[in-house]
Amino acid sequence: MSVEMVSENLMNQHLSIRRLQSNRWTAAATISCLTLLTFVAATTASPPGLVRCSAEECGLNAARLAAIDDVIEEGLRYDRMPGCVVLVGYRNRIAWLKSYGSRQLKPDVVPMTTDTVFDLASLTKPIATATSIMLLIEDGLVELDAPAAKYIPQFGNTGKEVITIRQLLTHQSGLLPDNSIRDYENGRVQAFQRIHELDLRAEPGTRFMYSDVGFIVLGEIVERVSGKSLDVFSKERIFSALGMAETGFNPVSAIQKRAAPTQERNGEWMRGEVHDPRAYKLDGVAGHAGLFATAEDLARYAQMLMNDGTLGKTRILKPETCRLMTTSQEVSSGVRTLGWDRRTGYSSNRGDLFSKQAFGHGGFTGTALWIDPTQKMFVIFLSNRVHPHGKGSVNSLVGRIGTIAAAAIKK
């Protein structure tokens, strides 16, 4: 055999060995990648939902809790709402989850179901907007007592340059409740420009005035600071992380089909379309309204706050951030927390037997969530009380349900 042939054979053997080694390395790398992806998927899996149990199994008096049925039946009889869903959570479990009445009355009657999706209206304020702000505070990107103008320079005029993030969260900014709907007619950019130009109605920090405008500003701050719109930021950092798969702004068509309609707009029933006219003009995404959810999704969020920021092995907020968010804030006409109500003129939907540490909020469309960390209980009430004619009324009814739930706790 010639020297050239021997050299060629040796070269081919060398290349074969290199290919074999390369294939092995590729296979090993592929296995490593798959292992890593499997690990990441396992560690980022959504936390499990709350376990459902009977009232007695959860530690509540079933006979007392059953009085909720009587209150709801009375509300339906007097047309307080077409239907509703009630959920009572106690000690990390769901002790009561029932649907009542109808999801819609017009154009056809459709029965209510526990998986109905509701327009939460002003529950958007604490759940999406305030929680997002608290996350940005935790991240070191927003300071609670810094002026809002630090994050939106255009906002800092006509006396508004001293308004702080805390004052916006507690409705003590001095901003009016709502500016003219005409300010929203030409899109988001001009709408925010109009808000930046608004005058004050009171000196910041001196008067409690419930303000949608203030929370629209907070929603804009989330977008400016995070670089993501409020719907995207809250979805990524809160709802997806908690496994709240049916919670968000502008729900997709599959979820819209289960949405409770509110009223008519331009001859069409609003179903999965935000009821609030200003949020609607802001493309369905605003700091004061626009969020949709189901009762069981909201139970995940409520339990997270009850657990100092965690659900299962998933942490959303640090314990100190939860405490900061739910610490009492004295206002001119009562007590609020950062984004939540505690004791003000807006507390008519509060249970009489809730502890002093309870906090909650309501929504114009007929929704409410109250959380009592002392008694380890939360109450969710979801309705579309504005359907079909806008004349329903549920605040006192919700308060009665909260009272019944707390009275059912076995001492």
pLDDT tens, residue by residue, 120-173: 999 999 999 999 999 999 999 999 999 999 999 999 999 999 999 999 999 999
Helix (H, G, I), strand (E, B) or coil at 98: strand
pLDDT over 70 (residue 278): yes
pLDDT computed for residue 308 by the predictor: 97
pLDDT (mean) for 338-357: 97
pLDDT of 27 > 60? The answer is: no
Contacts of 244 (CB under 8 A, 6+ apart): 238, 293, 297, 298, 300, 301
Number of H helices, E strands in the chain: 16, 17
Q: Say whether pLDDT at 411 is over 90.
A: no
Would you say residue 3 has pLDDT above 80?
no
Strands 377-383 and 110-111: unpaired
Task: Please check the confidence at residue 26 and state whether its pLDDT lies above 70.
Answer: no
Q: Are strands 93-104 and 51-52 parallel, antiparallel or unpaired?
A: parallel
- 142: DSSP letter: -
- Single out the residue of 323, 372, 333 nearest to residue 350, CA to CA: 372
d(C-alpha 209, C-alpha 201), whole Å: 9
Percent share of the chain, pLDDT over 70: 89
Residue 389 φ/ψ, nearest 5 degrees? -110, 0
Give the total residue count for the chain.
411
227 residue type, one letter: G
Separation between Cα atoms, residue 381 and residue 99, nearest integer Å: 10
Is residue 5 over pLDDT 50? no
Predicted local confidence at residue 46, as pLDDT = 80
For residue 354, give the amino acid letter.
F
Cis amide linkage into residue 82, ω under 30° from 0: no
What is the arithmetic mean of pLDDT over 35-50? 57
117 pLDDT exceeds 70? yes
Q: Kindly report the CATH number that applies to the domain delimited by 52-124+229-407.
A: 3.40.710.10
Span of 6-15, 59-68, 180-189 with lowest mean pLDDT: 6-15
H-only helix segments in 88-208: 124, 131-138, 165-169, 188-196
Phi and psi, residue 16, nearest 5° = -65, -45
pTM value is: 0.89
Q: Looking at this protein, which amino acid is placed at residue 183?
A: D
User: What's the rounded mean pLDDT across residues 369-382?
Assistant: 98
Taking the alpha carbons at both ends of the chain, their separation in whole angstroms is 99
Mean pLDDT for 63-85 is 98
User: How many angstroms separate the CA atoms of 361 and 350, rounded?
Assistant: 9
pLDDT > 80? residue 36: no
